[in-house]
Every structure is written in structure tokens, then in C-alpha cells.
Amino acid sequence: MSITSRDDGDDDVPILSADTLRLLQEFQSEKDTREKHFQDLKANAEAKFDDDAALTMDAFAEDWQVSQFWYSDETAQTLARQLLDGVDADSGIAVVSAPSVYVQLRKLLKDSVARPRLVLLEIDQRFEVFGSDFVPYDFQNPLKLPADLKGKFDRIICDPPFLSDECQTKTALTVRYLSRSWNPEDLI
């Protein structure tokens, strides 16, 4: 990246090289395309349009400022398949800070008759497009959750956004809050 300055008096005005300007324009164009796709997705969700086959994480750019890094489609699908193994309509699956897995779950369940309850707990408000499945979640307030979620989930996947002890501990509190009671005999 090359930046030069033009000295017209006291004000230094940076000037980008043609290559840098082209890269910046490409980045902005990609960002605009993702934003338009997201707005279309949101409009469809608000209209109760349910075309999960076209749903991908491409509509949601990662935000490194909140430590968002999506799983690859292959990894997310593998995790989703594991979560779905043996579930029925009485099962509950909570996805904490792992929206790419949630998207794969929705894809896999699109035509399923025995659809478990799905909930996505996520700080990013863009995921409101998933309607009642979306629950705003901030690990800083691990128990600030709707009471009707307490003890309702027998399958939980979480991907805490940070490796700090504080984040890991608070996320564990959330998982415990969401978990159905279990006995050691119930474990595989």
C-alpha cells in the first residue's frame, strides 16, 4: 500500500496509489454486495419467507472486533450432524456463539419431520433474521437469558468468542443454565 502526501500549505492530504485505491474500491464493493444480500435476507425473514436452501454464512461477514470467525461449511456441517444424531421433536439444541453451525442445522432440518427446538444465542443483532430462534446473548451477562430457556436443552454447542478464563467461565455458566438435568447413567 502506498500513500503519498501533497503539501498545499499547512494541510497534508494523503493520496492513495492507483493499486491501493483499486483494492479499496473492490473491498467496498464486496462489502456493499454482502450488505445488500443481508438486507434481502432480512426482508425475506420479516415476510416469514423460509428458503433455508439458499441460506449461507456469506450473508454475514465475520467481525473480528467481536472475535467472530466462522467455521468452514464442512466443519459446521460435521458439527451440525453430530448435534442432530438421535434427536426428535422433543429435543432442544442451543447454539451459543456459533452461528455457522446454526445455519447448517437449519439447512439439514429444512425437510425434517421431527424438528427439534433450535435456539441461537449470539451478540450480533444481524442474526435477528432468524426470528424466534434468535436470542441476544453477551457472555458478559451469562445468565441474562429468558427464563423459558432454563434447563430446556439436551444438546448444546458453544464457541466462546475469547480464550480468557473470564469468557470461558461465563460461557460455562450459560451452558449450565441451558442444560437439562442429567444423571451420570445418561452419559454415553
27 pLDDT above the threshold of 90? no
CATH code at position 153: 3.40.50
Q: Is the pTM of this model over 0.85?
A: no
- pLDDT, tens only, 150-178: 999 999 999 999 999 999 999 999 999 99
The answer to whether residue 17 sits within a structural domain is no
What tens digit of pLDDT does each residue of 128-140 get? 988 999 999 999 9
- Show the domain range for 83: 52-182
Q: Is residue 45 part of a domain?
A: no
The neighbouring-strand residues paired with 121 are: 96, 135
Which element (helix H / strand E) includes 119?
Answer: strand 117-122
**Sheet of 117-122, strands arranged across:** 134-136, 117-122, 92-96, 155-158
SS3 sequence of 17-68: CHHHHHHHHHHHHHHHHHHHHHHHHHHHHHCCCCCHHHCCHHHCCCCHHHCC
Tally of CB atoms within 10 A around 3: 9
Instruction: Report the range of poorest mean pLDDT among 27-31, 86-90, 141-145, 169-173.
Output: 27-31
* Residue 46, in any domain of the structure: no
Count of structural domains within the chain: 1
